């Protein structure tokens, strides 16, 4: 079987200003990922604003299997459209510990001032100032047991979504295939059994809010995630969304500064970073 021929993801966001693929404080209407497993066969994952997720196996345009995850209750409902059967399981949500610095509020890091230009003008049309705020959350899940019988990768990814509270697109694209590869599972579309295998997961969410220093209620937020997990002697670190580490402002990262500008004001004007303060 040919695995991972291609991956295509689209995100539909609710934003006051359209910025392609930007993550914001508002939940996405849907986060959709398509991953081809073989010719005519792909897996589709969707996250919904209410926290639920849907993961489907599609063959020749027809859904042959679907796993629906109700995050709030840990309920995983799997529908096999070939055998016309539906099974419901309740997955134990992995216990986790939040780091002591998870204050659930933004802290001001500082400001940056930019000269901005219109078109080919060589003289700036004015200055703009951005306030940078950050919020970091860290969650550690220790030794979650993957033990169980699974019908296919959609079923397995659904269990990961419910138990480990990761996005369905990330579970389908990255984490589930990686874990199954480590476990030696050869076919992602056939049933398989996993013995008592324990995963440790460290999840870090980093949010940056960029605000017009003169109009404080005009702001945009980028959110990124770092996932570090281990199984047996294997370890992996992945990044999702818009990941900028917490020292991005203090290190005066100019790429980060220009990303803040275009996130807040778009690309219709050009900007030159003048000062950090």
Residue 33 CA to residue 262 CA, distance in Å, equals: 26
Residue 222 CA to residue 220 CA, distance in Å, equals: 7
Question: How many helices and strands (H and E) does the chain possess?
Answer: 4, 16
Q: pLDDT in tens for each of the 277 residues of the chain?
A: 323 333 334 333 222 222 222 222 223 345 566 777 878 889 999 998 888 999 999 999 999 999 999 988 889 999 999 999 999 999 888 777 665 555 578 999 999 999 999 988 889 999 999 999 999 999 999 889 999 999 999 999 999 999 998 989 899 989 999 999 999 998 888 999 999 999 999 999 999 999 999 987 899 999 999 999 999 999 999 998 899 999 999 999 999 999 999 999 999 999 999 999 8
The helix (run of H) or strand (run of E) holding residue 181 is: helix 176-183
Name, in order, each residue with C-beta under 8 angstroms of 121's C-beta and a sequence gap of 6 or more. none
The string over 73-99, giving b where at least 16 C-beta atoms fall within 10 Å of a residue's C-beta and e elsewhere, is: ebebebbbeeeeeeeeeebebbebeee
Residue 14 CA to residue 29 CA, distance in Å, equals: 7
DSSP β-bridge partners for residue 114:
128, 273
pTM: 0.79
């Amino acid at each position: 079987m040919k695995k991972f021929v291609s991956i295509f993801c689209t995100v539909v966001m609710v934003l006051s200003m359209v910025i392609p693929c930007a993550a914001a404080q508002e939940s996405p209407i849907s986060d959709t990922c398509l991953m081809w497993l073989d010719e005519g066969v792909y897996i589709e994952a969707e996250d919904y604003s209410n926290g639920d997720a849907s993961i489907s196996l599609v063959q020749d345009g027809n859904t042959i299997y679907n796993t629906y995850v109700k995050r709030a209750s840990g309920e995983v409902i799997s529908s096999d459209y070939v055998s016309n059967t539906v099974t419901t399981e309740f997955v134990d949500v992995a216990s986790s510990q939040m780091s002591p610095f998870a204050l659930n509020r933004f802290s001001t890091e500082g400001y940056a001032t930019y000269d901005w230009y219109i078109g080919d003008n060589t003289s700036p049309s004015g200055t703009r100032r951005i306030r940078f705020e950050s919020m970091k959350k860290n969650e550690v899940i220790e030794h979650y047991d993957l033990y169980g019988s699974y019908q296919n990768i959609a079923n397995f990814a659904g269990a990961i979504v419910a138990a480990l509270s990761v996005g369905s697109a990330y579970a389908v694209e990255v984490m589930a295939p990686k874990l199954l590869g480590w476990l030696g599972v050869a076919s992602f579309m056939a049933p398989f059994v996993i013995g008592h295998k324990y995963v440790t997961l460290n999840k870090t969410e980093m949010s940056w809010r960029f605000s017009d220093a003169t109009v404080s209620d005009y702001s945009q937020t980028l959110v990124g995630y770092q996932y570090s997990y281990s199984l047996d002697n294997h370890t992996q670190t992945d990044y999702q969304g818009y990941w900028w580490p917490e020292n991005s402002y203090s290190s005066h990262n100019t790429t980060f500064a220009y990303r803040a500008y275009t996130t807040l004001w778009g690309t219709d004007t050009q900007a030159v970073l003048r000062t950090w303060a």
